[in-house]
Structure 1
Amino acid sequence: MSHRHHRHTLHAHQHHHGWNNANPPALRVAPGESVVFETVDSSGGQLSPTSTLDTLRALDFSRVNPVTGPVHVDGAEPGDALAVHIEHFAPSGWGWTANIPGFGLLADQFPDPALHLWQYDAGTLAPAAFGRLARVPLKPFAGTIGLAPAEPGPHSVVPPRRVGGNLDIRDLGAGTTLILPVEVAGALFSVGDTHAAQGDGEVCGTAIESPMTVALRFELLKGAAPRFPRLELPGPVTRHLDSRGYDVTTGIGPDLHGCARDAVSGMIELLVARHGMQPVEAYMLCSVAGDLRVSEIVDVPNMVVSLYLPRVLFD
């Protein structure tokens, strides 16, 4: 009997904070089965479509980045790989982006909280308006997706790790397969932190944070654990953004982190001068739609990081 079309559902209340291999499974499945996960946004439900800056100021960080799960996959053992086939997203139609004091690539330059609330068409996923300033093409994906680590927990969900977690790889969209190394019996898979759009780098620390439902199918690859997560993508990754070309700023120097900061700062200055944006608005737009790239890392001592911002945002 095939389990391939047997679909389970995990509801949003079946979530946990932090990675811990002692968490009891919320569900047990056989390899080949699919699960529909209802996720909570990365604020843990603290922000809503009517939130204000006061809501953001009062954020309880012990409740951020909840993940739905864990799912025990029958037969999964340390040394195996779990292939997670991302099948489908059902977005909610709303989301938020924020500058959270003390968090983000340019936290020292942006000490004050800022919040942008998004409304978008969950059916058509038409580009979402960033006020009157820009329109951001959408591409739903799961920011946090991973397995319980072997080391006893709890462990924060904020940093990514070998078994996945808060990867924030914007190409973890529908059609992609994510292959994760199993470190504990049953793998203990969880997912959350869903985004309607994000640029590579997620430079201000938040994307379009948006609760949604995601359907995943699990496949077990015995003895095939990769050293770190790897992805298999079904097609082009920037086609929804590249039709009008890009503006690109760079940072050059001996420190990759410093180069990234300079590239982002350069784009903020360009957006402020060209479009009359507030600097923090430009910073948040870079986070949801700009792509940081390591352009050169061999010409010692200096490296080059580039920020690519799609011109389609302003059409």
Structure 2
Amino acid sequence: MQKTNHTIHAGHHHYGWDRSLPPILTVAPGETVELDIQDASSGQLTPDSTVADVLAFDFSRTNPVTGPIYIEGAEPGDAVKLTVQHFQPSGWGWTAIIPGFGLLADQFPEAALHIWRYDSQALTPAAYGPGGRVPLKPFAGTIGLALAEPGLHSVVPPRRVGGNLDIRDLAVGSILYLPVEVAGGLLSIGDTHAAQGDGEVCGTAIESPMGAAFTIDLVKGANLKFPHFETSTPVTNHLDRKGYYVTTGISPDLMIGAREAVSGMIDWLGKAHQMDAAEAYMLCSVCADLRISEVVDMPNWVVSCYFPKVVFE
């Protein structure tokens, strides 16, 4: 395990990107930082929460990020290079349908909540109450730098300097490159997940507080327009073993295609596994992958929703 040079506790967090925020730590390129990261609810949801707590959610406290960290020598035009070293999961998490949020928000106006418990050491697949077991793959959903524009910017949407990317493959061993826009970069990290499907379709994954360690480096003069990343291993081997059941959506609009593919999967889960629609929607969010299958056969494009059969083995 990489030697840790610094530790940042969860109390050092903020709720928006702002270049004027004072850094809580300064690091030299090559150093490793261990962070204590809160879940996306900022502690508003607990292992004992009910759906009433979802309805009482304070959105001004959504998605806390730990930081910011000043990187010595980082200047606009450079890239911060982050290598994911390890995660220390907490053993519990939550997935929710939040009214007004998610790919199918219009179809699911009622709040719902599922509390997960999992083995924080072995990371064996987590049991899903209505049925199935979801393979786990911890990662941090939000990793970003400060924007050049002054003022406070929401953490919720992803941005050109990173932020709420929700890329499942930024797991242990992956390397992320973020374009620097302000001196020192001002790095912050949050929104740790125990598992997520590509698309995070209901708006939440297995939201789970945990520790995380990253080695911070610098690439001078990278001049990236958007984040880049590389992985060190295959990215779907935790799901591939039994194959997939796949639904599709076909439309000249990729968003409509995505919605139809997910709606089809929810219908299939209901018929094949007697699952309530809201439960199926949350399960898709944590383990089903949305993929663009083709974008060349105009005027219609194909979006596919891959559900791993291993969940129901």
After TM superposition, the score normalised by the length of structure 1 is: 0.98
Which among 38, 41, 51 is matched to residue 40 of structure 1? 38
Q: Is the 8 A contact 1:28 1:74 kept in 2?
A: yes
* In structure 1, distance between residues paired with 2:127 and 2:5: 35
Q: In structure 2, do the counterparts of structure 1 residues 154 and 90 end up closer, same or farther at CA, with 3 Å as the change threshold?
A: same
Q: Is the 8 A contact 1:81 1:223 kept in 2?
A: yes
2:286 corresponds to: 288
1:209 corresponds to: 207
Deviations 1:249-287 (A, max 9, x none): 000011000000000000000000011100000000100
* In structure 1, distance between residues paired with 2:74 and 2:33: 16
Unaligned residue ranges in structure 2 (runs of 5+): none
SS at match of 2:272: helix
Deviations 1:160-182 (A, max 9, x none): 00000000000010000000100
Unaligned residue ranges in structure 1 (runs of 5+): none
Q: Is the 8 A contact 1:180 1:225 kept in 2?
A: no
How is 1:117-156 mapped onto 2 (pairs within 5 angstroms)?
117-156=115-154
Deviations 1:171-228 (A, max 9, x none): 0100000001000000000000000000000000000000000000111111113111
User: How many residues are matched?
Assistant: 312
SS at match of 2:154: coil
Q: In structure 2, do the counterparts of structure 1 residues 6 and 42 end up closer, same or farther at CA, with 3 Å as the change threshold?
A: closer
* In structure 2, distance between residues paired with 1:8 and 1:156: 27
Residue identity in the other structure for 1:26: I
* In structure 2, distance between residues paired with 1:281 and 1:194: 22
* In structure 2, distance between residues paired with 1:145 and 1:160: 9
User: How far apart are 1:7 and its partner, in Å?
Assistant: 1.1
Residue identity in the other structure for 1:137: P
1:52 corresponds to: 50
User: How far apart are 1:153 and its partner, in Å?
Assistant: 1.9
Which among 166, 172, 186 is matched to residue 188 of structure 1? 186
Residue identity in the other structure for 1:282: A
The answer on 1:275 being equivalent to 2:289 is no
* In structure 2, distance between residues paired with 1:142 and 1:33: 19
The answer on 1:265 being equivalent to 2:273 is no
* In structure 1, distance between residues paired with 2:151 and 2:218: 24
1:219 corresponds to: 217
How is 1:221-236 mapped onto 2 (pairs within 5 angstroms)?
221-236=219-234
1:239 corresponds to: 237
Residue identity in the other structure for 1:180: L
- The share of aligned pairs that are identical, in percent, is 65
Q: Is the 8 A contact 1:81 1:225 kept in 2?
A: yes
* In structure 2, distance between residues paired with 1:238 and 1:284: 20
* In structure 1, distance between residues paired with 2:240 and 2:281: 20
* In structure 1, distance between residues paired with 2:130 and 2:103: 25
Q: Is the 8 A contact 1:29 1:74 kept in 2?
A: yes
CA RMSD of aligned residues (A): 0.8
Q: Is the 8 A contact 2:130 2:279 kept in 1?
A: no
SS at match of 1:312: helix
Deviations 1:56-101 (A, max 9, x none): 1000000000000000000100000110011000000000000000
* In structure 1, distance between residues paired with 2:225 and 2:259: 29
Q: In structure 2, do the counterparts of structure 1 residues 222 and 269 end up closer, same or farther at CA, with 3 Å as the change threshold?
A: same
Residue identity in the other structure for 1:225: N
Runs of 4+ residues over 3 Å off in structure 1: none
